[in-house]
Structure 1
Amino acid sequence: MIYRKDHLPKGMAYNRRPGLFMSATTITIHNTGNLSSTAANERNWLTNPSNDRQASYHIVIDEREAIECLPLTESAWHSGDGSGSKSGNRTSIAIEICESGNYAKTLDIAVALIANMLKERGWDVDRLRRHWDWSGKVCPRLMYDDGKWTGWIDFKNRVSKELAGKEVGLVVKANLIVYGKKIEDALLVDGKTYVPLRAVGDALGVKTAWENKSKTAMITE
């Protein structure tokens, strides 16, 4: 999956980035409630001048990517339960799951990402919350199923299996700069940096070649 950070600027209108320190104890799942909006759309809505809501979230996910909109160590306005020290707003990482496009694929990405977040923190699925758990709002609405919450139960079971079954890797975009010039995007995969060899070679003025039979990459002056 592609995970990128695009944090809201400090001093946002309507206090969308309150800047309050948060040591999270749970992760809260939401649906966006918008059938046509992508993760990028949802991130851009947070800084759209026409948006007058005091609402924000940490991560938004669609079928293509996950975008971190706020640092995970700062609170967001997402739970509808005020600003008390034990409120969801002050203690929980908010994840918005987009409803547009291939929702099944979006759920796959959400399961993998959330399993990874739980693993990093030494947590289990008992740390997952619904928006419903904080304020009684029917959210994540696509998991509601007329009050039976079958989608939510299935989602937690999938995260549990992912958490128990395998290591979950994240792919994060990084910048590649050679002699002060940005060439193209590199990738961070499980803490290792991968770069396009030909782009580096061209920037250094050397030749790059690929020998398919032996699967060998070569750089020569």
Structure 2
Amino acid sequence: MQYRKDHIPRNTPCKRRPGYAMAATTLTIHNTGNPSSSAAGERSWLTNPSNTRQASFHIVVDEREAVECLPFTESAWHSGDGSGSKSGNRTSIGIEICESGNYAQTLDNAVKLVAGMLQERGWGVDRLRRHYDWSGKICPRLMYDGGKWTGWAQFKALVQLKLSEGDKDMKVDKASTVVNGNRLGADSVLIDGRVYVPLAEVGKALGASVEWNNVSKTATINTKGGK
């Protein structure tokens, strides 16, 4: 995954770069809400003349890259909870996860990105927040299913697993997943009796493609020949 910085100008319309100094204490996870836009597209939208929203974020990630759009030492408007000193907007780094393309790969990239950011700061997954935690909006929407945040629980578990790879003292209940007699290259994690494993790894083991339908919230593994 490529990582690049492309900060929006300080004079970007609608005060999307307000310039408030910030010492972040959490990371807030979002979905873009746009099933056809890439990370580059989301970055371009921030400075598009037709954009009239006072909304912004720090970083956006898709299946190929992560683009840093605002410095992490400045506030962005992403949490929907105002401008108070303890609001998400003033205390949290906003991370947008794109919904287009290979969503399974995008999620894998997001896990690696978030784990790296937590590790840099000496933080754990207790520092992760949903947009929902600040304003009650159902976001990240693709981690919400039928009234349950099962996708969010899995995302946090995978981030914790990634963190544990660099910290031998971190206790994580790991599991092994075997597909057609072959053990997956990525470890799985066990939470409340359920095994969570990156879907992209399962698809790879099957020699299959993994697709995500944003409308029906369905992940599909397509093997060669449809078998």
Equivalence for 2:159: 159
Equivalence for 2:86: 86
Q: Which runs of 4+ in 1 moved over 6 A?
A: none
Say yes or no: does 1:69 pair with 2:69.
yes
Q: Output aligned runs, 1:1-150, within 5 Å.
A: 1-150=1-150
Q: Give 1 or 2 for the bigger CA radius of gyration.
A: 1
- Distance across 1 between alignment mates of 2:116 and 2:34: 26
- Distance across 2 between alignment mates of 1:146 and 1:69: 33
- Distance across 1 between alignment mates of 2:147 and 2:68: 30
Query: TM-score, normalising length from structure 1?
Result: 0.75
Question: C-alpha displacement at 1:10, in angstroms?
Answer: 0.6
- Distance across 1 between alignment mates of 2:147 and 2:9: 38
Q: CA-atom RMSD, angstroms? A: 0.8
Gapped regions of structure 1 (runs ≥ 5): 168-221
Partner SS for 1:101? coil
- Distance across 1 between alignment mates of 2:147 and 2:41: 29
CA deviation map 1:87-142 (0-9, x unaligned):
00000000000000000000010000100100000000000000000000000000
- Distance across 1 between alignment mates of 2:139 and 2:75: 19
Residue identity (%) = 74
CA deviation map 1:42-77 (0-9, x unaligned):
000000000000000000000000000000000000
Aligned residues: 167
Gapped regions of structure 2 (runs ≥ 5): 168-227
Query: TM-score, normalising length from structure 2?
Result: 0.73
Partner SS for 2:116? helix
